[in-house]
């Protein structure tokens, strides 16, 4: 397949984001005979992909891009030209939650997808395989097919669903050795040919038994279901963590014991301040909406609960900070260590840190934030943004404009914690494990509080230093 009529096949990916960029870089690396062009309407993003300062931080990504860029990997804003020339078009545009109109707060906003599809129809002069790389509601391929076929004549479009399962922070590793690659296509001779073409690309480095082929709707739904199951595990362990704190059980011990059951397994059982990221909440809300539209309110409510527990976990954390510090943080300095939604990424979309910081600011704290990968601009933007309330306001009241004056961004953890009354650890960055906590303690007001939202510190060691420590799901300070 890689050579079609002795000509190199060309792949174009619309959307140079967290998924489009790394995925295409790995395809280019593993398929040197294929020309891969990643296009985006954002000039700034494309310029960054073409520079030494890639637009996203992902371990190992720089290396892969350096090996292929200019050889068979290109980044361009000339969207139409490269779509016109490509045989296979991946669409990896954002599919956020709708914020207004029908389905607001739950349904996926497919505006970007639709405009990409209309543009493909406008410029295409030859047959195309169009691959859904974005996470989309089940049955989206049907809508895309309609847009494409009603807007261009004589062109055969095959739509494939090829959802991406990479996790930010380990994207390159996940792409090199995926648990599975999922390809859904139409069960027609043309559909099967298209599936085979995409399979041939992945087969360059993924073992055959890991490439799964299904019908279109199974592939689309599997991605939503996988994210819902992953988030559900986090909400399950977080729900148990609340009970641990109430009873004296220790969530680390409980999770270990539960995970030892081979039917359950040990992964994704870390209690925390809550899950974040651009996908879990959005995809579950999308699932909830699809269930409601299909007359399945009980199923919708079941999945909704996963998000409610996540919101509860964040507000529980804020309440614990405030109540521990004598029921007020007004005028007190709280250091926030970590702002990204997880370690090894600079991504802050839906990070629990936003809600925690806003909760503390709402109680008139002054906060000083340090994250090794998140810029001051990003933090200020995130905190200033009004969060769309998907169901009802649970933890946040609108902040007064003066509250934002109480946000500082520090160069390192020591600057952030100097003169603080309390420290909140909100991202599990490795460097936080090795901090000199004695030095931090010495520079803080006493009693010095430490709230570990990711269970990264050695609680006993910190208590020996003198900290009053609260760690998610762990027995409280004696």
The reply to whether 278 sits near ligand NAD by the rule CB under 6 A is yes
Q: Hey, which residues between 227 and 256 contact ligand NAD (CB under 6 A)?
A: none
Instruction: Tell me how far, at minimum, the Cβ of 333 lies from ligand NAD, in Å.
Output: 33
Two structure tokens written together for 279: 């996908």
Dihedral sign for Cα 435, 438, 439, 443, please: positive
Where does 162-288 show beta strands of DSSP type E?
A: 181-185, 211-215
Q: Hey, which residues between 94 and 153 contact ligand NAD (CB under 6 A)?
A: 94-95, 112, 115-116, 134-135
∠255-261-267 over CA atoms, to 5°? 50
Part in contact with ligand NAD (CB under 6 A); list of ranges 9-17, 262-270, 310-318, 360-368: 9-17
Q: How far, in Å, are 228, 272, 356, 364, 386 from residue 402 at the CA level?
A: 38, 30, 17, 10, 15
The reply to whether 279 sits near ligand NAD by the rule CB under 6 A is yes
Report the residue number, 108 or 325, with the smaller CB distance to ligand NAD.
108
Q: Hey, which residues between 26 and 65 contact ligand NAD (CB under 6 A)?
A: 39-42, 45
Q: How far, in Å, are 68, 264, 265, 268, 300 from residue 256 at the CA level?
A: 42, 11, 9, 11, 30
Instruction: Tell me how far, at minimum, the Cβ of 290 lies from ligand NAD, in Å.
Output: 15
Two structure tokens written together for 312: 């509860």
| DSSP states of 120-142 | HHHH--S-EEEEE-S---TTHHH
Among 168, 174, 371, 406, binds ligand NAD (CB under 6 A): 168
Site string for ligand NAD, 169-188 (x = CB under 6 A): --------------------
Nearest residue to ligand NAD by CB is 17
Q: Is 382 annotated as a binding residue?
A: no
The reply to whether 382 sits near ligand NAD by the rule CB under 6 A is no
Name the DSSP class of 258: H
CB 143 within 8 A of CB 135: no
The reply to whether 270 sits near ligand NAD by the rule CB under 6 A is no
The reply to whether 16 sits near ligand NAD by the rule CB under 6 A is yes
Asked if omega into 450 is within 30° of 0 (cis), the reply is no
Instruction: Tell me how far, at minimum, the Cβ of 42 lies from ligand NAD, in Å.
Output: 4
CA atoms within a 13 Å half-sphere pointing along the CA-CB vector of 379? 26
Q: Which residues are annotated as a binding site for NAD(+)?
A: 15-20, 40, 45, 93-97, 134-135, 168, 279-282, 349
Judged by the rule CB under 6 A, the positions of this chain that interact with ligand NAD are: 14-20, 39-42, 45, 79, 92-95, 112, 115-116, 134-135, 164, 166, 168, 278-279
């Amino acid at each position: 397949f890689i050579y079609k009529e002795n000509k190199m096949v060309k792949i174009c990916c619309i959307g140079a984001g967290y998924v489009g960029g790394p995925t295409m870089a790995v395809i280019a690396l593993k398929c040197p005979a294929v020309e891969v062009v990643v296009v985006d309407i954002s000039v700034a993003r494309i310029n960054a992909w073409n520079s030494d300062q890639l637009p996203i931080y992902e371990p190992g990504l720089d290396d892969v891009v350096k090996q292929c860029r200019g050889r068979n990997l290109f980044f361009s804003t000339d969207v139409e030209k490269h779509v016109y020339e490509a045989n296979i078009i991946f669409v990896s545009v954002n599919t956020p939650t709708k914020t207004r109109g029908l389905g607001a707060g739950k349904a996926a906003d497919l505006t970007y997808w639709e405009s990409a599809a209309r543009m493909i129809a406008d410029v295409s002069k030859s047959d195309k395989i169009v691959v859904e790389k974005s996470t989309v509601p089940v049955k989206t391929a049907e809508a895309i097919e309609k847009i494409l076929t009603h807007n261009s004549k004589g062109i055969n479009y095959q739509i494939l669903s090829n959802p991406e399962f990479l996790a930010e922070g380990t994207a390159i590793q996940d792409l090199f050795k995926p648990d599975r690659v999922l390809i859904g296509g139409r069960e027609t001779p043309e559909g099967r040919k298209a599936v085979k073409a995409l399979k041939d690309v992945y087969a360059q480095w993924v073992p055959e038994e890991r490439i799964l082929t299904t019908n279109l709707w199974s592939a689309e739904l599997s991605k939503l279901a996988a994210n819902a199951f992953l988030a559900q595990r986090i909400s399950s362990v977080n729900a148990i963590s609340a009970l641990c704190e109430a009873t004296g059980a220790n969530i680390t011990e409980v999770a270990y014991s539960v995970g030892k059951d081979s039917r359950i397994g040990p992964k994704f059982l870390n209690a925390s301040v809550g899950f974040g990221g651009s996908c879990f909440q959005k995809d579950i809300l999308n699932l909830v909406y699809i269930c409601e539209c299909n007359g399945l309110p009980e199923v919708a409510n079941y999945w909704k609960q996963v998000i409610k527990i996540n919101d509860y976990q964040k507000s529980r954390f804020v309440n614990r900070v405030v109540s521990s510090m004598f029921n007020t943080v007004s005028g007190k300095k709280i250091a926030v260590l970590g702002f990204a939604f997880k370690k090894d990424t600079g991504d802050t979309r839906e990070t629990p840190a936003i809600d925690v910081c806003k909760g503390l600011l709402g109680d008139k704290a002054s906060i000083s934030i340090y994250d090794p990968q998140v810029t001051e601009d990003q933090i200020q933007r995130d905190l200033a943004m009004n969060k769309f309330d998907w169901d009802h306001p649970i933890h946040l009241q609108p902040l007064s404009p003066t509250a934002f004056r109480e946000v500082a961004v520090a160069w390192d953890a020591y600057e952030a914690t100097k003169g603080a009354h309390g420290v909140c650890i909100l991202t599990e960055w490795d460097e936080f494990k090795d901090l000199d906590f004695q030095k931090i303690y010495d520079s803080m007001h006493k009693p010095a509080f430490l709230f570990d939202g990711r269970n990264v510190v050695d609680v006993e060691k910190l208590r020996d230093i003198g900290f009053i420590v609260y760690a998610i799901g762990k027995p409280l300070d004696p």
